[in-house]
Amino acid sequence: MAPKIAEFTSTSIDTIAPTVARLQATFASQKTKPLEYRLQQLRKLYWGLVDNADLVMESCRLDLGKPELEVVLTELDWCKNDTVFASKNLAVWMKDEKAPDIPLTNKLLAPHIRKEPLGTALIIGAYNFPYNLALGPLIGAIAAGCPAVLKPSEGTPYCAMVMKKIVEESLDPDAYAVVNGEIPETTALLNEKWAKIFYTGNDRVARIIAKKAAETLTPVCLELGGRNPAIVTKHADIRLAARRLLWGKALNAGQVCISHNYTLVDKEVFPRYIEELKVAMKEFYPNGIKSSPDFGRIANNRQFLRIKKMVDESKGKILIGGEMDEATNYIELTVVQVDDINDSMIKDESFGPLMPIYPVENLDEAIRIANTVHSTPLALYGFGTKAETNRILNEILSGGASINDSFFHASIPTLQFGGVGDSGEGAYRGRASFETFTHRRAVTTTPNWMESLLSIRYPPYLGKVKQA
Ligand code: NAD
Contact 256, 299 (CB under 8 A): no
CA R_g for the chain: 25
Nearest CA to ligand 1 atom 9: 153
Torsion of CA 440, 432, 81, 53, to 10 degrees: 90
Nearest CA to ligand 1 atom 30: 201
Contact 429, 133 (CB under 8 A): no
Cα–Cα distance between 245 and 241 in angstroms, integer? 6
Question: What DSSP element (H or E) covers 136?
Answer: helix 132-144
Residue 93 CB contacts under 8 Å (≥ 6 apart), including other chains: 115, 143, 431, 434, 435
Contact 151, 32 (CB under 8 A): no
| Substitution candidate for ligand 1 out of 78, 123, 153 with most atoms within 8 A of CB | 153
Cα–Cα distance between 366 and 359 in angstroms, integer? 9
First to last CA, the chain: 80
Tell me the CA distances in angstroms from 356 to 24, 246, 299, 372, 380, one per residue in order.
48, 12, 21, 16, 15
Atom of ligand 1 nearest to the CA of 378: 41
The dihedral built from the CA positions of residue 180, 186, 192 and 196, taken in this order, carries a sign that is positive
Cα–Cα distance between 264 and 257 in angstroms, integer? 18
Cα–Cα distance between 454 and 206 in angstroms, integer? 49
Pocket of ligand 1 (CB under 6 A): 124-128, 133, 151, 153-155, 182-183, 186-187, 200-202, 205, 208, 223-226, 257, 349, 351, 378, 419, 424
Whether the bond into 34 is cis, omega within 30 of 0: no
Contact 384, 231 (CB under 8 A): yes
Question: What DSSP element (H or E) covers 245?
Answer: helix 238-250
For residue 213, how far is its CA from the centre of ligand 1 (angstroms)? Answer: 16
Beta bridge partners, 354, equal: 334
pLDDT recorded at residue 467 = 66
Beta bridge partners, 198, equal: 123, 221
For residue 337, how far is its CA from the centre of ligand 1 (angstroms)? Answer: 29
The number of residues making up the chain comes to 468
Nearest to 246 by CA among 218, 269, 273, 207: 273
Cα–Cα distance between 249 and 358 in angstroms, integer? 16
Helix (H, G, I), strand (E, B) or coil at 197: strand
For residue 204, how far is its CA from the centre of ligand 1 (angstroms)? Answer: 9
| Substitution candidate for ligand 1 out of 163, 205, 411, 415 with most atoms within 8 A of CB | 205
Burial class of residue 110 (count of CB atoms within 10 Å of its CB; 0-12, 13-18, 19+): middle
| Substitution candidate for ligand 1 out of 190, 257, 261, 429 with most atoms within 8 A of CB | 257
The dihedral built from the CA positions of residue 186, 191, 195 and 197, taken in this order, carries a sign that is positive
| Substitution candidate for ligand 1 out of 202, 207, 298 with most atoms within 8 A of CB | 202
For residue 94, how far is its CA from the centre of ligand 1 (angstroms)? Answer: 31
For residue 230, give the DSSP letter: E
Nearest CA to ligand 1 atom 17: 183
- Interface ipTM: 0.96
Degrees to nearest 5, angle at CA 350 with 349 and 351:
95
DSSP string, 359-419: EESSHHHHHHHHHHH-SS-SEEEEES-HHHHHHHHHHS--SEEEESSSSHHHH-TTS-B--
Instruction: Determine if residue 145 is left, alpha or beta; phi over 0 gives left, psi from -120 to 50 gives alpha, anything else beta.
Output: left
Compute mean pLDDT per 10 residues along the chain, 468 residues long, and list them. Answer: 87 98 98 98 98 97 93 96 97 97 91 98 96 98 98 97 98 98 98 98 96 97 93 98 97 94 98 98 96 93 96 96 96 97 94 97 98 93 98 98 95 93 95 98 96 91 76
Atom of ligand 1 nearest to the CA of 225: 34
Helix (H, G, I), strand (E, B) or coil at 265: strand
Burial class of residue 218 (count of CB atoms within 10 Å of its CB; 0-12, 13-18, 19+): buried
DSSP string, 424-451: EE--BSTHHHHHHTEEEEEE----GGGH
pLDDT recorded at residue 464 = 78
Atom of ligand 1 nearest to the CA of 424: 41
pLDDT recorded at residue 468 = 62
For residue 42, how far is its CA from the centre of ligand 1 (angstroms)? Answer: 25
Cα–Cα distance between 170 and 187 in angstroms, integer? 27
Contact 79, 139 (CB under 8 A): yes
For residue 282, how far is its CA from the centre of ligand 1 (angstroms)? Answer: 33
For residue 374, how far is its CA from the centre of ligand 1 (angstroms)? Answer: 19
Model pTM score: 0.94
Mind telling me the catalytic residues? 223, 257
Contact 270, 357 (CB under 8 A): yes
